[in-house]
Amino acid sequence: MKTTILHRSILFAAAAFALTACNSEGDKFDYDKNLAFMSGTDVDPIRKFVVEDTPTSENVSVSLVAPLDRDLTVKVAIDPSKVDEYNRQHQTSYFPIPDGAAELVNDQAVIPAGKSFSDALQVRMVSTEDFEEGRTYLIPVTIVDADGVEILAAQRTAYLQVARILQFTALDIANPTMYSNFIFDDSKMVDMSGGFTYELKVWGLNYNQNGNGNPTRLCSFTAKDESNSSMLRFSENGKPARSLQWVCPGGNIVSNTLFDTNRWYLLSFTFDGSNLTMYIDGNKDTEGSYSGTDPIHFQRIELGMSWGGGYPASQRFNGRIAEMRVWNRALSPGEIKLGTCGVDAGSEGLVAYWKFNEGSGSIFHDATGHGYDMDWANTSRDKSENGVMVATPEAAGAINWVNDDNNKCAE
């Protein structure tokens, strides 16, 4: 069993908060009043609870703004209803853990006389068997009673985010023979003019592997006729090496991030109807604006550089992809941060979701069940650069699945 013990004193921060607080009537705060709160919640109410196997435990504690001259017994509880409350306040989409998955070993802690923090309260993860793929779970540990001492409402609850180490399969796209386009039926066209989010995870062995000034083409999310596309490529000539260029509706945006090799990144691109924003690993990287009036449609996925001539090989991307998603709304920053390892296939606004975890075959399945499966044997590309799309059944034979120690994700 793994047990992590955390004792952090944050009394100055909590005191500063308390001294500036006012009640709902506008009265000044009583400076002589002591307060109880969950330790560490001034820095961040959420902290990771790493779970590699079960059972395993994590400790929390309760603190006071100032020591008392008596022992103080504090009662706590796991309250799943706090997850919905947190989601409403922070525009996130965490899930409460399934019933029976976690428990408090002891629900009462004592803060000894003259001390400012309690002994450890142990939270035990009993099982993850009922966890659903793509969901990020929180365990809210909240103060129920503080033996006559007032509880600081804003820091009443500590949230433990269950962080599992996940192994996954990915798609290696280093073979340019695989580069092609899958065009969905007209019935599957989605109007994205009001907003969208495109996402995928990427791992690069070399972001400018050609060394000849050519970019390396990753993929495109686009309309059937490639109008108002969102195309992604690294190391475009004239741009910083290892930077990501998003050729997007209304122009192009270049990342501030310079990408390192041999690590996974989550790329997210949002449009809220006027603003275009690039996120790297859930953090806002850069943004631009869109003033166009033409509709933005999604109906086509391109992997790699699929034009004719020598383009596929000269702009080859030497790396892997996983977790490609299409949303018909702009995700909030909080929602994006939760998608590092995966998302719930039933999430609001999730149009299509390809995990690329099949491990065999040529069909990339849509996890949402909305009918956006892609059979890479039924792809096509403009081989002669004359605007004529030609079938590329050979692309299916160039698919390469990988599952090794590089393909791990910590939620």
**Which residue type sits at 11?**
L
Predicted confidence (pLDDT) per residue in 327-360, tens digit: 999 999 999 999 999 999 999 999 999 999 999 9
Which among 191, 249, 185, 188 is positioned nearest to 220, based on CA atoms? 249
- Residue 264, pLDDT score: 97
Asked, colleague to colleague, whether 3-166 and 170-410 share their fold, the answer is: no
CATH architecture of 170-410: Sandwich (2.60)
Question: What is the rounded CA–CA span in Å between residue 193 and residue 273?
Answer: 7
Measure the CA–CA gap between 189 and 159, rounded to whole angstroms.
40
Reduced to 3 states (helix: H, G, I; strand: E, B; else coil), residue 329 is coil
How many angstroms separate the first and last alpha carbons of the chain?
20
Bridge partner list, 141: 78, 158
pLDDT tens, 295-322? 999 999 999 998 877 778 888 899 999 9
3-state DSSP assignment of residue 163: strand
What digits encode the pLDDT tens for the residues 48-93? 999 988 999 999 999 999 999 999 999 999 999 999 999 999 989 9
CA geometry: angle 345, 349, 351, nearest 5 deg: 65
What residues does each domain of the chain span? 3-166, 170-410
- Largest CA-CA distance found in the chain, in angstroms, rounded: 85
Strand partners, 275: 289
According to the model, what pLDDT value does residue 10 have? 40
Contacting residues for 410 by C-beta, under 8 A, at least 6 apart: 50, 163, 164, 165, 166, 341
**Cis-peptide into 96, omega within 30 deg:** no
Residues 122-152 pLDDT 10s: 999 999 999 998 899 999 999 999 999 999 9
Cβ atoms of 317 and 337 within 8 Å: the answer is no
Angle of CA points 170, 174, 179, to nearest 5°: 95
**pTM value?**
0.80
Listed residue (145, 144, 147, 166) closest to 68, CA to CA: 147
Structure confidence by residue, pLDDT tens digits, 356-383: 999 999 999 999 999 999 999 999 999 8
Confidence of residue 171 (pLDDT cuts 50, 70, 90): very high
Distance separating alpha carbons of residues 122 and 59, to the nearest angstrom? 5
CATH, domain range 3-166: 2.60.40.1740
Q: Which two tokens stand for residue 9?
A: 């004193």
Does 18 score more than 70 pLDDT?
no
Query: Cα 325 to the chain's mean position, in Å?
Result: 11
